[in-house]
Structure 1
Amino acid sequence: MTNDETRPETRHLGQQSTLPSSPEEAVLDYVPNPRPDALYTIRFSAPEFTSLCPVTGAPDFAHLVIDYAPGDTIVESKSLKLFLGSFRNHNGFHEDVTVGIGQRLFAEMRPRWFRIGGYWYPRGGIPIDVFWQSGVAPEGLWVPDQGVANYRGRG
Protein backbone atom coordinates (compact mmCIF):
# COMPACT_ATOMS: atom_id res chain seq x y z
CA MET A 1 0.00 0.00 0.00
CA THR A 2 1.04 3.59 -0.47
CA ASN A 3 1.35 6.06 2.41
CA ASP A 4 -2.25 6.90 1.61
CA GLU A 5 -3.64 3.50 2.67
CA THR A 6 -6.69 3.97 0.43
CA ARG A 7 -4.74 3.24 -2.76
CA PRO A 8 -2.42 0.26 -3.33
CA GLU A 9 1.03 0.64 -4.80
CA THR A 10 0.90 0.33 -8.60
CA ARG A 11 3.59 0.68 -11.25
CA HIS A 12 1.39 2.40 -13.84
CA LEU A 13 -1.60 4.19 -12.32
CA GLY A 14 -0.86 7.91 -12.11
CA GLN A 15 2.61 7.35 -13.59
CA GLN A 16 4.19 7.93 -17.00
CA SER A 17 4.34 4.47 -18.57
CA THR A 18 5.83 3.27 -21.82
CA LEU A 19 4.50 0.43 -23.92
CA PRO A 20 6.38 -2.77 -23.03
CA SER A 21 8.36 -4.21 -25.93
CA SER A 22 6.93 -7.71 -25.38
CA PRO A 23 4.20 -9.46 -23.39
CA GLU A 24 6.89 -11.10 -21.26
CA GLU A 25 8.20 -7.66 -20.22
CA ALA A 26 4.72 -6.34 -19.42
CA VAL A 27 3.92 -5.99 -15.73
CA LEU A 28 0.29 -6.26 -14.72
CA ASP A 29 -0.87 -4.46 -11.60
CA TYR A 30 -3.56 -5.90 -9.37
CA VAL A 31 -5.49 -4.05 -6.70
CA PRO A 32 -7.75 -5.36 -3.93
CA ASN A 33 -11.28 -6.24 -4.99
CA PRO A 34 -13.45 -3.46 -3.51
CA ARG A 35 -16.39 -5.90 -3.15
CA PRO A 36 -14.79 -9.27 -2.28
CA ASP A 37 -18.02 -10.71 -0.86
CA ALA A 38 -20.08 -9.91 -3.98
CA LEU A 39 -20.36 -12.24 -6.97
CA TYR A 40 -20.12 -10.01 -10.04
CA THR A 41 -18.68 -9.89 -13.55
CA ILE A 42 -16.09 -7.45 -14.89
CA ARG A 43 -15.72 -7.02 -18.66
CA PHE A 44 -12.94 -5.52 -20.73
CA SER A 45 -13.35 -5.11 -24.50
CA ALA A 46 -10.39 -4.44 -26.76
CA PRO A 47 -11.87 -3.96 -30.26
CA GLU A 48 -8.57 -2.85 -31.82
CA PHE A 49 -6.19 -5.55 -30.55
CA THR A 50 -3.22 -6.34 -32.81
CA SER A 51 -0.43 -8.91 -32.97
CA LEU A 52 1.75 -10.25 -35.77
CA CYS A 53 1.43 -13.40 -37.86
CA PRO A 54 4.32 -15.67 -36.89
CA VAL A 55 4.78 -16.81 -40.50
CA THR A 56 4.45 -13.64 -42.57
CA GLY A 57 4.97 -10.91 -39.96
CA ALA A 58 1.81 -9.20 -41.23
CA PRO A 59 -0.49 -7.62 -38.63
CA ASP A 60 -3.48 -9.56 -37.32
CA PHE A 61 -6.45 -7.75 -35.80
CA ALA A 62 -8.96 -8.95 -33.22
CA HIS A 63 -11.74 -7.84 -30.95
CA LEU A 64 -10.95 -9.32 -27.54
CA VAL A 65 -13.58 -9.62 -24.83
CA ILE A 66 -12.41 -10.53 -21.32
CA ASP A 67 -14.95 -11.41 -18.62
CA TYR A 68 -14.14 -12.44 -15.07
CA ALA A 69 -15.62 -12.81 -11.61
CA PRO A 70 -12.97 -11.37 -9.31
CA GLY A 71 -11.58 -13.09 -6.27
CA ASP A 72 -9.39 -11.07 -3.92
CA THR A 73 -7.98 -8.80 -6.65
CA ILE A 74 -8.94 -7.00 -9.85
CA VAL A 75 -6.57 -6.11 -12.69
CA GLU A 76 -5.74 -2.41 -12.95
CA SER A 77 -6.99 -1.23 -16.35
CA LYS A 78 -4.00 0.89 -17.42
CA SER A 79 -1.60 -2.01 -16.85
CA LEU A 80 -3.97 -4.27 -18.82
CA LYS A 81 -4.00 -1.78 -21.73
CA LEU A 82 -0.19 -1.73 -21.73
CA PHE A 83 -0.04 -5.53 -21.57
CA LEU A 84 -2.44 -5.89 -24.51
CA GLY A 85 -0.56 -3.18 -26.44
CA SER A 86 2.68 -5.12 -26.00
CA PHE A 87 1.37 -7.70 -28.48
CA ARG A 88 1.69 -5.21 -31.37
CA ASN A 89 5.19 -6.51 -32.11
CA HIS A 90 4.60 -10.06 -30.89
CA ASN A 91 4.49 -12.98 -33.31
CA GLY A 92 1.85 -15.55 -32.43
CA PHE A 93 -0.92 -17.64 -33.86
CA HIS A 94 -4.43 -16.50 -32.89
CA GLU A 95 -4.94 -19.52 -30.65
CA ASP A 96 -1.67 -19.03 -28.76
CA VAL A 97 -2.22 -15.31 -28.26
CA THR A 98 -5.84 -15.59 -27.07
CA VAL A 99 -5.35 -18.56 -24.75
CA GLY A 100 -2.00 -17.20 -23.51
CA ILE A 101 -3.57 -13.90 -22.46
CA GLY A 102 -6.34 -15.76 -20.66
CA GLN A 103 -4.04 -18.18 -18.88
CA ARG A 104 -1.65 -15.45 -17.73
CA LEU A 105 -4.44 -13.27 -16.34
CA PHE A 106 -6.11 -16.25 -14.68
CA ALA A 107 -2.86 -17.46 -13.09
CA GLU A 108 -1.82 -14.05 -11.78
CA MET A 109 -5.20 -12.67 -10.75
CA ARG A 110 -6.75 -15.89 -9.40
CA PRO A 111 -10.37 -14.87 -10.09
CA ARG A 112 -13.36 -17.03 -9.21
CA TRP A 113 -13.99 -17.49 -12.94
CA PHE A 114 -12.47 -16.19 -16.17
CA ARG A 115 -13.15 -16.30 -19.91
CA ILE A 116 -11.73 -14.66 -23.01
CA GLY A 117 -13.14 -14.47 -26.53
CA GLY A 118 -10.76 -13.60 -29.35
CA TYR A 119 -12.75 -12.59 -32.43
CA TRP A 120 -10.07 -12.36 -35.12
CA TYR A 121 -10.69 -10.47 -38.34
CA PRO A 122 -10.21 -12.53 -41.51
CA ARG A 123 -6.98 -12.91 -43.38
CA GLY A 124 -7.22 -15.10 -46.44
CA GLY A 125 -11.01 -14.91 -46.20
CA ILE A 126 -11.42 -16.86 -42.94
CA PRO A 127 -12.16 -15.26 -39.58
CA ILE A 128 -10.91 -17.27 -36.60
CA ASP A 129 -12.62 -17.03 -33.23
CA VAL A 130 -10.84 -18.47 -30.18
CA PHE A 131 -12.42 -18.99 -26.75
CA TRP A 132 -10.96 -20.06 -23.41
CA GLN A 133 -12.43 -20.17 -19.94
CA SER A 134 -11.24 -21.37 -16.57
CA GLY A 135 -14.22 -23.66 -15.96
CA VAL A 136 -17.93 -23.50 -15.31
CA ALA A 137 -19.18 -20.11 -14.14
CA PRO A 138 -20.18 -20.00 -10.46
CA GLU A 139 -23.87 -20.52 -9.82
CA GLY A 140 -25.69 -17.21 -9.75
CA LEU A 141 -23.07 -15.28 -11.74
CA TRP A 142 -24.56 -13.19 -14.53
CA VAL A 143 -22.58 -14.05 -17.66
CA PRO A 144 -23.74 -11.79 -20.49
CA ASP A 145 -23.29 -12.63 -24.14
CA GLN A 146 -19.97 -11.23 -25.36
CA GLY A 147 -21.85 -9.13 -27.90
CA VAL A 148 -19.60 -9.71 -30.91
CA ALA A 149 -21.57 -10.84 -33.93
CA ASN A 150 -20.48 -13.63 -36.22
CA TYR A 151 -18.35 -12.16 -38.98
CA ARG A 152 -20.29 -9.98 -41.41
CA GLY A 153 -17.88 -7.09 -41.77
CA ARG A 154 -17.33 -7.34 -38.01
CA GLY A 155 -17.48 -4.03 -36.24
Structure 2
Amino acid sequence: MTTTKSQDKTDHLQALGKGGETTYQLEGPHSGILETFPNNYPNRPYIVSVEFPEYTSLCPMTGQPDFGVIVMEYIPKERIVESKSIKLYFFAYRNHQSFMETIANTMLEDFVEALDPLWCRVKGLFSPRGATTLHVFAEHFDTKAENIEEVKTIVSEWKQEASRHSS
Protein backbone atom coordinates (compact mmCIF):
# COMPACT_ATOMS: atom_id res chain seq x y z
CA MET A 1 0.00 0.00 0.00
CA THR A 2 1.34 3.43 -0.97
CA THR A 3 1.14 6.23 1.58
CA THR A 4 0.44 9.72 0.30
CA LYS A 5 0.96 13.03 2.09
CA SER A 6 -0.98 16.27 1.80
CA GLN A 7 0.51 19.70 1.32
CA ASP A 8 -0.10 20.58 4.99
CA LYS A 9 2.95 22.05 6.75
CA THR A 10 3.18 20.17 10.07
CA ASP A 11 6.87 19.91 10.96
CA HIS A 12 6.62 22.65 13.61
CA LEU A 13 3.63 21.17 15.48
CA GLN A 14 4.41 19.88 18.99
CA ALA A 15 1.13 18.93 20.74
CA LEU A 16 0.66 15.70 18.82
CA GLY A 17 4.18 14.61 19.64
CA LYS A 18 6.21 12.12 17.67
CA GLY A 19 5.63 8.40 17.96
CA GLY A 20 2.87 8.68 20.55
CA GLU A 21 4.56 11.25 22.82
CA THR A 22 2.12 14.06 23.52
CA THR A 23 3.05 17.30 25.28
CA TYR A 24 0.34 18.32 27.77
CA GLN A 25 0.39 21.92 28.96
CA LEU A 26 -2.33 21.95 31.59
CA GLU A 27 -0.96 24.57 33.99
CA GLY A 28 -3.82 26.84 32.96
CA PRO A 29 -5.42 28.12 29.79
CA HIS A 30 -3.44 30.47 27.54
CA SER A 31 -3.17 31.13 23.82
CA GLY A 32 0.30 29.55 23.68
CA ILE A 33 -1.31 26.09 23.89
CA LEU A 34 -2.98 26.67 20.52
CA GLU A 35 -0.80 25.52 17.65
CA THR A 36 -1.53 26.61 14.12
CA PHE A 37 -0.52 25.69 10.62
CA PRO A 38 -0.80 27.55 7.30
CA ASN A 39 -4.17 27.73 5.56
CA ASN A 40 -3.76 26.22 2.09
CA TYR A 41 -6.86 28.11 0.87
CA PRO A 42 -6.51 31.71 2.15
CA ASN A 43 -8.38 33.13 -0.87
CA ARG A 44 -11.46 30.97 -0.23
CA PRO A 45 -13.57 32.02 2.77
CA TYR A 46 -14.82 28.87 4.50
CA ILE A 47 -16.00 28.10 8.01
CA VAL A 48 -14.30 25.75 10.45
CA SER A 49 -16.46 24.61 13.37
CA VAL A 50 -15.01 22.78 16.37
CA GLU A 51 -17.34 21.40 19.04
CA PHE A 52 -16.03 20.27 22.42
CA PRO A 53 -18.84 18.52 24.37
CA GLU A 54 -16.74 17.63 27.43
CA TYR A 55 -15.96 21.13 28.71
CA THR A 56 -15.46 21.62 32.46
CA SER A 57 -14.18 24.45 34.64
CA LEU A 58 -14.75 25.62 38.20
CA CYS A 59 -17.02 28.30 39.60
CA PRO A 60 -14.83 31.05 41.12
CA MET A 61 -17.21 31.48 44.06
CA THR A 62 -18.09 27.91 45.07
CA GLY A 63 -15.35 25.85 43.44
CA GLN A 64 -18.09 23.60 42.07
CA PRO A 65 -17.63 22.24 38.54
CA ASP A 66 -19.34 23.84 35.58
CA PHE A 67 -20.04 21.68 32.53
CA GLY A 68 -20.91 22.58 29.00
CA VAL A 69 -20.31 22.41 25.30
CA ILE A 70 -17.92 24.88 23.71
CA VAL A 71 -18.28 25.54 20.00
CA MET A 72 -15.58 27.57 18.28
CA GLU A 73 -16.31 28.67 14.72
CA TYR A 74 -14.06 30.72 12.48
CA ILE A 75 -13.19 31.76 8.95
CA PRO A 76 -9.42 31.39 8.67
CA LYS A 77 -7.19 33.93 7.05
CA GLU A 78 -3.60 32.65 7.00
CA ARG A 79 -3.66 30.20 9.94
CA ILE A 80 -5.71 27.15 11.06
CA VAL A 81 -5.74 25.75 14.60
CA GLU A 82 -4.48 22.19 15.01
CA SER A 83 -7.30 20.10 16.54
CA LYS A 84 -5.29 18.27 19.22
CA SER A 85 -3.94 21.57 20.55
CA ILE A 86 -7.47 22.97 20.78
CA LYS A 87 -8.49 19.92 22.81
CA LEU A 88 -5.52 20.48 25.14
CA TYR A 89 -6.50 24.14 25.40
CA PHE A 90 -10.03 23.20 26.49
CA PHE A 91 -8.63 20.64 28.96
CA ALA A 92 -6.53 23.41 30.53
CA TYR A 93 -9.78 24.93 31.86
CA ARG A 94 -10.59 21.89 34.04
CA ASN A 95 -9.00 23.35 37.19
CA HIS A 96 -9.50 26.98 36.19
CA GLN A 97 -11.89 29.13 38.21
CA SER A 98 -13.77 31.73 36.20
CA PHE A 99 -17.28 32.91 35.38
CA MET A 100 -18.79 31.54 32.19
CA GLU A 101 -19.05 34.97 30.56
CA THR A 102 -15.34 35.58 31.18
CA ILE A 103 -14.44 32.13 29.84
CA ALA A 104 -16.19 32.62 26.48
CA ASN A 105 -14.64 36.06 26.00
CA THR A 106 -11.16 34.93 27.07
CA MET A 107 -11.36 32.00 24.66
CA LEU A 108 -12.34 34.37 21.86
CA GLU A 109 -9.37 36.62 22.64
CA ASP A 110 -7.00 33.62 22.69
CA PHE A 111 -8.31 32.28 19.36
CA VAL A 112 -8.07 35.71 17.73
CA GLU A 113 -4.52 36.10 19.03
CA ALA A 114 -3.45 32.66 17.76
CA LEU A 115 -5.31 32.70 14.43
CA ASP A 116 -5.96 36.31 13.34
CA PRO A 117 -9.14 35.02 11.62
CA LEU A 118 -11.51 36.90 9.35
CA TRP A 119 -14.29 35.95 11.79
CA CYS A 120 -14.47 33.94 15.00
CA ARG A 121 -17.25 33.07 17.42
CA VAL A 122 -17.12 31.16 20.68
CA LYS A 123 -20.37 29.67 21.94
CA GLY A 124 -20.40 28.53 25.55
CA LEU A 125 -23.45 26.31 25.99
CA PHE A 126 -23.26 25.66 29.70
CA SER A 127 -25.23 22.97 31.52
CA PRO A 128 -27.95 24.12 33.93
CA ARG A 129 -26.98 24.96 37.51
CA GLY A 130 -29.62 25.93 40.03
CA ALA A 131 -32.32 25.44 37.35
CA THR A 132 -30.67 28.12 35.18
CA THR A 133 -29.14 27.55 31.76
CA LEU A 134 -26.54 30.06 30.58
CA HIS A 135 -25.35 30.41 26.99
CA VAL A 136 -22.62 32.92 26.14
CA PHE A 137 -21.77 33.96 22.57
CA ALA A 138 -18.65 36.06 21.94
CA GLU A 139 -17.81 37.17 18.41
CA HIS A 140 -15.04 38.93 16.46
CA PHE A 141 -14.88 40.25 12.89
CA ASP A 142 -11.69 41.46 11.21
CA THR A 143 -13.25 44.75 10.12
CA LYS A 144 -10.07 45.71 8.23
CA ALA A 145 -10.31 42.72 5.88
CA GLU A 146 -10.79 43.64 2.22
CA ASN A 147 -13.59 41.08 1.84
CA ILE A 148 -15.40 41.88 5.10
CA GLU A 149 -18.82 42.20 3.40
CA GLU A 150 -18.42 38.75 1.82
CA VAL A 151 -17.36 37.38 5.22
CA LYS A 152 -20.41 38.93 6.91
CA THR A 153 -22.70 37.38 4.28
CA ILE A 154 -21.13 33.93 4.77
CA VAL A 155 -21.46 34.24 8.55
CA SER A 156 -25.09 35.36 8.31
CA GLU A 157 -25.95 32.41 6.06
CA TRP A 158 -24.06 30.05 8.41
CA LYS A 159 -26.01 31.30 11.41
CA GLN A 160 -29.34 30.95 9.59
CA GLU A 161 -28.51 27.40 8.52
CA ALA A 162 -27.33 26.48 12.03
CA SER A 163 -30.52 27.86 13.60
CA ARG A 164 -32.65 25.73 11.23
CA HIS A 165 -30.82 22.60 12.40
CA SER A 166 -31.03 23.43 16.11
CA SER A 167 -34.81 23.99 16.15
- TM-score strictly above 0.5: yes
Distance 1:147 1:123, change over 3 A: farther
| Aligned mate of 1:12, from 12, 15, 22 | 15
Rate the CA distance shift 1:61–1:117 in 2: closer, same or farther, 3 A.
Answer: same
CA distance in 2, matches of 1:94, 1:146: 22
Corresponding position of 1:69: 75
Superposed structure 1 runs of 4+ greater than 3 Å apart: 146-150
Aligned pairs for 1:48-87 within 5 A: 48-87=54-93
Match of 1:40 among 21, 46, 63: 46
TM-score by length of 2: 0.78
Residues 125-140 of structure 1: pairs in structure 2 closer than 5 A: 125-135=131-141, 138-140=151-153
Name the SS for the 1:97 alignment partner.
Answer: helix
**d(CA) in 2 for partners of 1:30 and 1:52?**
28
Count of residues in Structure 1 that have an aligned counterpart in Structure 2: 147
Q: 2-side partners of 1:147 and 1:134: how far apart? A: 23
Larger radius of gyration: 2
- How far is the alpha carbon of 1:12 from its aligned partner? 1.1
Aligned partner of 2:119 among 100, 110, 113 = 113
Q: Report if aligned partners of 2:31, 2:113 keep a CA contact under 8 Å in 1.
A: no
Q: Which has the higher helix share?
A: 2
Structure 1 gaps, min length 5: 151-155
Amino acid paired to 1:13:
L
Q: Structure 2: where are the runs of 5+ without partners?
A: 1-7
RMSD over equivalenced CA pairs, Å:
2.5
> Cα distance, 1:146 vs. partner?
6.5
State the Cα distance separating 1:73 from its structure 2 match. 0.4
> Could you tell me how far 1:14 is from its partner in structure 2?
3.6
